[in-house]
Structure 1
């Protein structure tokens, strides 16, 4: 049943490997498929202080219900020491969230951005330079990340199962849109009959 989450876990693994130091607070922006699973994966990989930021109130509530330390804004998630920021949304809104807090993000922090889009992303140059922030991009995964994701999920099934909030046997494709728009779930496994 956990097979469908291997790919987003691999995306998270690839992005998490971009950070130079695991002993910093890790702030994950976005608790969709990649972000929520990256939260669990980061803890398994040895990041010991992991928090998340989620703007959607329902997702925030669901995340907290399963034990994710989550906040509605990056400002609340910051630490006074250098941090790692993983943006799993990668659009103008999430970049805007980071940009709005650039003056508060501690010096020497690292930011990794995932997600694809057509938007032009911009940051205030002086804040980046004066604070010596590092920004990196992360594109999906490579074959070794996928294999590692399979092994991690298999060895830690009990931790990943809580992210699957619904399993549906799909015999009527007309109900698919309502399933996908249902904000009461983190991950839905759809079994096609």
Structure 2
């Protein structure tokens, strides 16, 4: 079968690789695989554990072509939860399988999904509704990331999202679904800001044109917080170091700052605002199986229509060119690869 293989940093080739063994229970023909920031980090050679040679891709949906799992039949359409936890360690038993030290993920103990076929156990597969396309199914994974990181958002909350790319824009959408009364998203790219406005995000700001740390910009400026204390939840969805300073400035006393990205290296930041305002700083990594299933329901029931988030879909052979274009800063939200083309 063909697959997109990262042979060395910044060099991807579409090559023939061995077909996956169906020993894991279900064999899929992949129809849609999204490219995300972590794929780009891997391509650049910066990812902490995905190292070449490796098949890229972990946001996928496909069709069952063979199954020894009684829960799935040939022809079923599914999305893949790309994490296989051991379900035996203390972290798994405590209800945190996404933190399992022994979990396998595509590119880390498990092949990537940018291939014509992919093998997976039935327990990580989620059915797609008949009217939902494979391209929408592949967006369940990033939507699950957004759902997981917004667990502290409640009805009436004020939320600021720093970074309006694919994940940040989904965080904004999920925050509104959870009942946030005010949602602010910041992004330096005009393309992302225009997309957010089109999706109905009420407050979209260019952080290069507005001082977010000056003390006079908070939820109060948006009419959501008369006391001027700031936002209840600030989600950092950009890896730029300046976002941490902005996040601590925008967060209200005893509010929460959630960190999503993996940063390129150690950071130096003034933590006095965290101490003086008793801010909680929370990391957020991937999602639990329950988060993934909830994201699937949002898409299957069209609670959130994710089709506008898909910028384009291209054949597998164009993967090298797409990654080069993403690295150069091409305007996009979500580019997907169709391994069957």
Range class of TM-score, shorter chain:
0.7 to 0.9
Q: For residues 132-171 of structure 1, what are the structure 2 equivalents within 5 Å?
A: 132-156=278-302, 159-171=305-317
> In the aligned structure 1, how far is the partner of 2:335 from the partner of 2:143?
15
- Partner of residue 43, structure 1: 176
* Structure having greater relative contact order (Cα 8 Å, sep ≥ 6): 1
Cα–Cα, structure 1 residues 174 and 108, in superposed 2: closer, same or farther, change >3 Å?
closer
> In the aligned structure 2, how far is the partner of 1:186 from the partner of 1:77?
27
Contact 1:92/1:119 (<8 A) preserved: no
Structure 1 residues not aligned, in runs of 5+: none
SS of corresponding position for 1:14: helix
Contact 2:162/2:247 (<8 A) preserved: no
Q: For residues 36-75 of structure 1, what are the structure 2 equivalents within 5 Å?
A: 36-68=169-201, 69-73=203-207, 75=212
Q: Alpha-carbon deviation of 1:170? A: 4.3
Contact 1:29/1:54 (<8 A) preserved: yes
Deviating above 6 A after TM superposition, structure 1's stretches of 4 or more consecutive aligned residues are none
- Partner of residue 246, structure 2: 97
The structure with the largest strand share of the pair is: 2
RMSD of the TM alignment (CA)? 2.6
**Paired residues, what number?**
189
SS of corresponding position for 1:109: strand
Q: Alpha-carbon deviation of 1:77? A: 6.5
* Structure 1 residues 130-184: Cα deviation after superposition (integer angstroms, max 9, x where no partner): 2221111111111111111111121226632222232334444454235535633
TM-score w.r.t. the length of structure 2 is 0.49
Greater displacement, 153-162 / 126-135: 153-162
Contact 1:10/1:149 (<8 A) preserved: yes
Larger radius of gyration: 2
TM-score w.r.t. the length of structure 1 is 0.82
> In the aligned structure 2, how far is the partner of 1:61 from the partner of 1:183?
15
The structure with the largest helix share of the pair is: 1
Equivalent in 163, 183, 186 of residue 30 of structure 1: 163
> In the aligned structure 1, how far is the partner of 2:320 from the partner of 2:175?
36
